[in-house]
Amino acid sequence: MIAVDTNILVYAHRAETPWYKAADTAIAELAEGGAPWAVAWPCLHEFLAIVTSPRIFRTPTPLGDALRQIEDWSASPTLQLIGERPGYWDILKTLLEKSHVAGPVVHDARIAAICLQNGVKTLWSADRDFSRFAGLRVQNPVAGKAGQ
């Protein structure tokens, strides 16, 4: 199963990003395909925080529009919204100890642990920090596709 990270969601939502078309197409292919795909709840929370922030975007997305975007993605019958389940702490702790990360990268370890616990094999992300976490393949679906 493929999971989608926050940055790909943001690119697919904000038309002014150089990767908008590539990200929008990639997510549409997942949403319209027959295979299950996933988004971790913390990625949706982070998506809302980013796209509605006037510190990040000169004209932020109105909250109602951002919520509708999530509802549109959630309409995909193959989307699974994933989160922590019993046993999550053991996975996160192991990832943190093996990768020796600290600070903000702990959030990435959280996403990786949620993905691994929920059977995700590949995470679509433009964030190379995820490559630190064993057992999770990271793929950037928009690499080299700016403006496409």
- Whether residue 78 lies inside any domain: the answer is yes
Strand partners, 79: 37
Total domains present in the chain: 1
Residue 103's CATH number: 3.40.50.1010
Q: How far is CA 36 from CA 41, 46, 79, 117, 129, in A?
A: 16, 22, 6, 15, 24
pLDDT of residue 143: 87
Q: Counting beta carbons within 10 angstroms of the beta carbon of residue 7, is it exposed (0 to 12), middle (13 to 18) or buried (19 or more)?
A: buried
Quote the pLDDT of residue 144: 74
- Pair of tokens at residue 108: 């990435």
Q: Which two tokens stand for residue 44?
A: 């949706």
- Would 145 be classed as within a structural domain? no
In a domain, 13, yes or no: yes
Is 94 part of any domain? yes
Provide the residue range defining the domain that includes 128: 2-139
Whole-structure pTM value: 0.93
3-state secondary structure the chain: CEEECHHHHHHHHCCCCCCHHHHHHHHHHHHHCCCCEEEEHHHHHHHHHHHCCCCCCCCCCCHHHHHHHHHHHHCCCCEEEECCCCCHHHHHHHHHHHHCCCCCHHHHHHHHHHHHHCCCCEEECCCHHHHHCCCCEEECCCCCCCCC
Inside any domain, residue 117: yes
Residuewise pLDDT in 10s, the chain (148 residues): 999 999 999 999 999 999 999 999 999 999 999 999 999 999 999 999 999 999 999 999 999 999 999 999 999 999 999 999 999 999 999 999 999 999 999 999 999 999 999 999 999 999 999 999 999 999 999 987 665 5
One-letter amino acid for residue 64 of the chain: G
Note whether residue 144 is domain-resident: no
Would 147 be classed as within a structural domain?
no
- Asked if residue 142 lies in contact with residue 8, where contact means CB atoms within 8 angstroms, the answer is yes
In a domain, 148, yes or no: no
